[in-house]
Amino acid sequence: MTVKTHIPQERRVVTAIPGPKSQEVLARRSEATSGGLGLSIPVVIESAADAILVDIDGNHIIDLGSGIGVTNIGNTSQRVVDRVIAQVQEFTHTCFTVAPYINYIEVCELLNKHTPGTFKKKSLLVNSGAEAVENAIKVARHYTKRQAIVVFEHSYHGRTNLTMALTAKNMPYKEGFGPFAPEIYRVPMPYSLHWVGDKATITQDALDLVTHKIDKEIGAHNVAAILIEPIQGEGGFVVPPKGFLPGLQKYSNDNGIIFIADEVQTGFARTGHMFAVEEEGVVPDMIVTAKGIAGGLPLAAVTGRAEIMDSVHAAGLGGTYGGNPVACAAALGVFETIIEDGLIARAQHIGKILGDSLRALATKYPVIGEVRGRGAMQAIELVVPGTTQPNPEAMQKIIKYCHSKGVLVLNAGTYANVVRFLPPLVITDELLLDAMSVLDEALASL
Ligand code: PLZ
């Protein structure tokens, strides 16, 4: 087996970004690939390890995006590389529902064990976050024999037809892609920075609003599931106020509604817990995972109470590739790495450095309206100084500056005014602080 040359964990910008080689390949990208695809940083990647991406011009870029919260254990993490190589040498595909294999089962056993809840759980593996959300909804509807699904303002759940309907933001996710699936009901989200009511009573006021809407406009007995991200991802890292998720869970339990947590972006140690709902001891009936589950190989899961997951007739769920053996091998390497290397504690440590750095910047630069998030999932929301008015121009300038200096950061937010930070949990303190100093320069340059 060839062992990958270690990539030094330091930022190194040796050309303009994009460099000449990247420019050439990006021109081919424009020619060959659909114009409907977005592009965050204009470079072409050749290799990566831990928190450094190396482009074809030799630039070493600090990765504060983890491929949108995917490479939580770092890129090309050794246990994942070893297990993937071993698996592709054995077999690459049978289709689990045709001829099963053990590592699919092992991944499900680990999910059943590590997701919150002491009751018996069962899991199902699919290919993407959106597909997992779709399957959770299918199962919840089948089990409850109800149809309505309740989702929140600012939510993101995917790009397939059903998940577009579940997603809040029109542009770019939904514009021109309708008609959308019926029986989806959107309710208010307590987004504290933009909350018009009294912030002192936001939790109870939001719960009252949500339950009133459900009771009066849908009828609780018609609701199959309440679906929520414990911290909203694409919506701008909106953290629900303390007590909101437990309140929703209680309302769901009291009304026979399945409470589904979409932990696609928050899962796998990202927020300083294995799953973000643990922060307030919330135990969902079903939990949807993807992204961080398999270090970048396409895999996603639905885990839930056994009686719910077993309520579907045999062959009612499935798919050709779901739980592909190579992706499952990677997932086993991910679980092992998170546990053996103490990455939950590491996410908390990163959270302290990131939070302290961002709060210090917020006192220096009034363009930062709020710092929020948890663990290694934090963001700054940019405003017109002295107001809560969104400042998307500042966001664009900051991101462009960071990219030009070799720091990959991502945008987010309903108002396109959030810069989010999702570093791999193996990022060194030095690298993270270096990235924060670039962010400082970016803010100063505004
Ligand atoms: N649920 C909470 O964050 C994916 C989207 C990137 P898929 N978020 C990144 C983009 O621009 O398409 C996401 C999520 C939450 C579901 C999903 C969907 O996961 O694996 O992208 O389908």
**pLDDT single digits (tens) 38-53:** 999 999 999 999 999 9
Q: Provide the percentage of residues in the chain whose pLDDT is more than 70.
A: 99
The whole-number average pLDDT for the span 269-290 is 98
Q: Please report which confidence band the pLDDT of residue 6 belongs to, taking 50, 70 and 90 as the band edges.
A: confident
Which atom of ligand 1 lies closest to the CA of 68? 9
Rounded-to-integer distance, Cα 11 and Cα 20, Å: 19
The whole-number average pLDDT for the span 275-302 is 98
Phi and psi dihedrals of 247, rounded to 5? -65, -40
Selected from 3.30.70.3270, 3.40.50.12280, 2.40.50.140, 3.40.640.10, the CATH number assigned to the domain covering 84-340 reads 3.40.640.10
Phi and psi dihedrals of 412, rounded to 5? -170, 175
Choose which residue among 71, 134, 157 to substitute to test ligand 1 binding: the one with the highest number of ligand atoms within 8 A of its C-beta. Answer: 157
The domains of the chain are located at: 20-63+342-445, 84-340
In this predicted structure, the answer to whether residue 4 has a pLDDT above a threshold of 70 is no
The whole-number average pLDDT for the span 31-44 is 98
Tell me what pLDDT residue 3 has.
Answer: 44
Single out the residue of 225, 208, 228, 206 nearest to residue 216, CA to CA: 208
Both structure tokens of 93: 């595909």
Q: What mean pLDDT value characterizes the chain?
A: 97
Rounded-to-integer distance, Cα 126 and Cα 434, Å: 38
Q: How far is the CA of 76 from the centre of ligand 1 (A)?
A: 21
Which atom of ligand 1 lies closest to the CA of 300? 20
Angle at 214 between CA 211 and CA 217, to 5 degrees: 135
Q: How far is the CA of 364 from the centre of ligand 1 (A)?
A: 33
Query: What kind of architecture, by CATH, is found in domain 20-63+342-445?
Result: Alpha-Beta Complex (3.90)
**pLDDT single digits (tens) 350-407:** 999 999 999 999 999 999 999 999 999 999 999 999 999 999 999 999 999 999 999 9
Which residues contact ligand 1 via a Cβ below 6 A?
68, 128-130, 133, 156-159, 229, 233-234, 262, 264-265, 290
Both structure tokens of 300: 């996603």
β-bridge partners, 47 = 54
Helix axes 244-254, 202-213, angle to 10 degrees: 30
**pLDDT single digits (tens) 398-417:** 999 999 999 999 999 999 99
Tell me what pLDDT residue 1 has.
Answer: 42
CB 378 within 8 A of CB 410: no
**pLDDT single digits (tens) 83-130:** 999 999 999 999 999 999 999 999 999 999 999 999 999 999 999 999
**pLDDT single digits (tens) 154-189:** 999 999 999 999 999 999 999 999 999 999 999 999
Half-sphere exposure at residue 7, Cβ-oriented, CA atoms within 13 angstroms: 26
The whole-number average pLDDT for the span 202-206 is 98
Tell me what pLDDT residue 2 has.
Answer: 44
Question: Which residues have C-beta within 8 Å of that of residue 295, sequence separation ≥ 6?
Answer: 70, 71, 72, 73, 75, 77, 80, 330, 331, 333, 334
